[in-house]
Amino acid sequence: MVIFLLHQKIKDREIEEPFNYGDFRQVVKEVADWSPGGIPRSETLLKNFLNNFIERPADQKNGYKLTEYALKFIAIVDHKLNNPYRTFPLRKSFEKYTTFQATEIQDIVELERWFEQGFNNISRQNIIDHLEALKDVVSQSVKELGQILQQENIDIVQIVSEFAEIFTGLNEKTEEIRDTLRLGNRLERELQLVVDHFYAILDTSSSTEPKADAALYKKVSKDYESAQKIQWEVNTFFMVVGGKIGQLREKIVFASNKLNDLQHNFHYQSSYKLNIKRMLHFVLTESRFTRDGPELSACFPRKSIPYESFKITMVNHMEEFFPKKVMVTTTLIDKEYQESENAKIEKDIARQERIMELVSYYKELLALDKQMDFTEKFYHILEQDKDVEIALNVSYELLLFAHHSKQYKVTIDQNLLKNSKDKKIYSWQTDIVKR
């Protein structure tokens, strides 16, 4: 409502666009005056509307305007409420757009022109719009009938006259629907004649021996196919229209039958309906609120209904009801594997001990001699222990020690290989020297 009123006020030049926050707050207040409840918070409302319905113009920080989306939304609702077809008889729409004489069509171009320009572009949408408007009118009339019935203390003569007024309108609509369906049928018949006309041309062309002109045959064949396609499209459209009209007709007929039923037992119906209302009020006043839902006094009559429940309770994992058995399995010892693993472990331990022993020994030696030909020691360990792992680990430990020590320095001559050309492992000439 706020958006609609803003739009109306802008249109009537009561407020300018872009409008300011004061205009917005005033509109919210006016809308709140019409509807029950208090005045909603304008800031919250504006925040909700921003982006989708209201936007800030780029050049004005304190101004607001309606978005394109809001304008489209207003246009759609306006069309629905003030559909021009509501007052224009459906029959006339049909007469206007379905007037079609088969004899007038001689050429496929004429048929295609009627279909594309007359039918497809104009009639189709107009008829659909018209049906939508008619649907609203019928639904509204049916609702109004119900509302008349709901009124209490209304004079019977007045009820009858109000019913009669609405039913006159509904009867006119029924008549229109009948005529419209007749016009639709006529159009379908005329189209069939046109299709037959093109088939006859094709038939004549194919029976001529020898075929005079292959290109001509191809053309008439294509014309026939086009005519068939148009006929199919029109028939499909009318099937949809027929379905929609059928629904409307059903609603009108139902309402009309209900009125006939009502004529016979109006007094009984109205007193029964009144009692339903009184009963609803009575039940509500006798009920009381609880957190688990409404409660009624035990004296209130409770009615029983059959309620035998049928269900299978599926238990998916039966074994979970019982503790799982834990089985202890004694495995046999694989002696051969055990010995080989033990040998590996012992070898590893012995290697670690040897590495530690050699590292300590060479550190002491370095302390005594002040310098050491490290490459020579490396090859010596390699030859002595026959284990490259030991030689590499001792070297690594010693180099690390010398590198981090302030007393020693490591010198490496990358070009000179001393006594290593005949070895399996090559090494640069590396010395550790006291600073």
Partner 1 sequence: MADGYSKEIDFTFLSEEAAQNYFADLNIELLRGTHIQKESYYLFSLLQDKERELRNYYNSLYGLELIRDRHNNETFYYLDILDGKGKLSRQDRHRELSPMNIITGIMLLKMYYDKYFELQKIVTWQDIEHHVMESEYSDSFKKVFFDEIREFYSDAEWENVRKRFLKCVREFEALGWVSKISSSEHEIHFVIRESISRFAKLYEKELQHFDDFVVSYLNQS
**Does 181 interact with partner 1 (rule: CB under 8 A)?**
no
Choice between 70 and 255, CB closer to partner 1: 255
Shortest Å distance, C-beta 207 to partner 1: 52
Least distance in Å: CB of 284 to partner 1? 4
Q: Does 282 contact partner 1 by CB under 8 A?
A: yes
Residue 292 CB, nearest approach to partner 1 (Å): 9
Q: Write a three-state SS string for 220-265.
A: HHHHHHHHHHHHHHHHHHHHHHHHHHHHHHHHHHHHHHHHHHHHHC
Contact by Cβ (8 Å): 47, 24: no
Among 21, 69, 254, 396, contact with partner 1 (rule: CB under 8 A): 254
Indicate whether 38 belongs to the interface with partner 1 (CB under 8 A): yes
Is residue 377 within 8 A of residue 368, CB to CB? The reply is: no
Per CB under 8 A, 245 contacts partner 1: no
- The reply to whether 150 sits near partner 1 by the rule CB under 8 A is yes
Task: Establish if 143 lies at the interface with partner 1 (CB under 8 A).
Answer: yes
Q: Which of residues 310 and 337 has its CB atom nearest to partner 1 in the complex?
A: 310
288 binds partner 1 (CB under 8 A): yes
By beta-carbon proximity to partner 1, the closer residue of 5 and 259 is 259
361 makes contact with partner 1 (CB under 8 A): no
How far, CA to CA in Å, does 242 sit from each of 127, 130, 136, 141? 12, 13, 17, 21
| 145 forms part of the interface with partner 1 (CB under 8 A) | yes
Which one of 63-71, 74-82, 304-312, 354-362 is the stretch in contact with partner 1 (CB under 8 A)? 304-312
429-434, strands of its sheet edge to edge: 371-373, 429-434, 408-413
Question: Residue 312 interacts with partner 1 (CB under 8 A)?
Answer: no
Residues 127 and 98: beta-carbon distance below 8 Å: no
Total residues contacting partner 1 by CB under 8 A comes to 51
Q: State whether residue 313 is helix, strand or coil.
A: coil
User: CA-to-CA distance for 91 and 175, rounded, in angstroms?
Assistant: 9
End-to-end Cα, the chain, rounded Å: 93
Residue closest to 410 by CA, chosen among 387, 380, 435: 435
C-beta separation of 193 from 102 below 8 A: yes
Least Å distance between CB 166 and partner 1?
9
Q: Does residue 306 interact with partner 1 by CB under 8 A?
A: yes
Question: DSSP 3-state assignment of 284?
Answer: helix
Nearer to partner 1 by Cβ, of 99 and 275: the residue is: 275
Q: Which of residues 153 and 285 has its CB atom nearest to partner 1 in the complex?
A: 285
Measure Cα distances from 282 to 151, 286, 287, 297 in Å.
Answer: 20, 6, 9, 12
The verdict on 177 binding partner 1 (CB under 8 A) reads no
In the complex with partner 1, which residue's Cβ is closer, 138 or 191? 138
Q: Which residue type sits at 46?
A: L
What residue ranges bind partner 1 (CB under 8 A)? Answer: 36-38, 142-143, 145-146, 149-150, 250-251, 254-255, 258-259, 262, 269, 272-273, 275-289, 293-297, 299-310
